[in-house]
């Protein structure tokens, strides 16, 4: 009986525990690559170059204690400042508009058990102003 009660309390604790995550993302300077989630104050006409799509699934091993080690987490700021900006320049554009970001934060799980590296999906339209 005591074991069952302990098990029920543990399950209740796991079900009622929640988590929230927050990440601040800074865009690169506008003179390098202009990035916006809308189409804002873009002087028209502009030349659309193409659509940019980026997806990454983070990697963590979901085993006790080992799952606490971030092997390759999905980080939004790094993706925008390094990958999206560089790819936009490589495509011949100097701005990315209508940026859509979907992000699932990395999770540690319960002492590493069930850990997940998160996921990030970013798409936008590359233009030349």
**Per-residue model confidence as pLDDT tens digits over 5-44:** 788 777 666 555 556 666 677 778 877 888 888 876 677 7
Q: Is the pLDDT of residue 49 over 60?
A: yes
Structural domain for 11, as ranges: 2-128
Alpha-carbon distances, residue 24 vs 17, 27, 92, 108, 118 (angstroms): 24, 10, 28, 19, 16
Reported as a single tens digit per residue, the pLDDT across 76-97 is 888 998 899 999 999 999 999 9
Residues 6+ apart with CB under 8 A from 37: 98, 99, 100, 101
More confident residue, 48 or 5: 48
How high is the pLDDT of residue 90?
94
CATH of the domain at 73: 3.30.110.70
Count CB-CB contacts under 10 A for residue 1.
5
pLDDT at 22: 67
Q: What is the mean pLDDT of the chain?
A: 85
Greater confidence (17 vs 121) lies with 121
**Whole-model pTM?**
0.74
pLDDT higher than threshold 60 for residue 118: yes
- Number of domains comprising the chain: 1
Average pLDDT of the residues in 62-70: 87
């Amino acid at each position: 009986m005591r074991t069952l009660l302990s098990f029920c309390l543990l399950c209740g604790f796991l079900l009622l525990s929640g988590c929230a995550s927050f990440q601040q993302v800074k865009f690169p300077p506008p003179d390098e690559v202009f990035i916006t989630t809308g189409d804002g104050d873009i002087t028209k006409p502009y030349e659309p170059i193409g659509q940019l799509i980026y997806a990454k699934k983070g990697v963590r091993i979901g085993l006790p204690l080992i799952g606490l080690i971030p092997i390759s987490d999905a980080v939004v700021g790094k993706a925008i400042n390094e990958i999206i900006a560089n790819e936009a320049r490589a495509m011949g554009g100097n701005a990315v508009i209508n940026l859509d970001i979907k992000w699932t934060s990395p999770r540690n799980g319960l002492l590493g058990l069930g850990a997940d590296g998160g996921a990030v999906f970013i798409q936008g339209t590359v233009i030349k102003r």
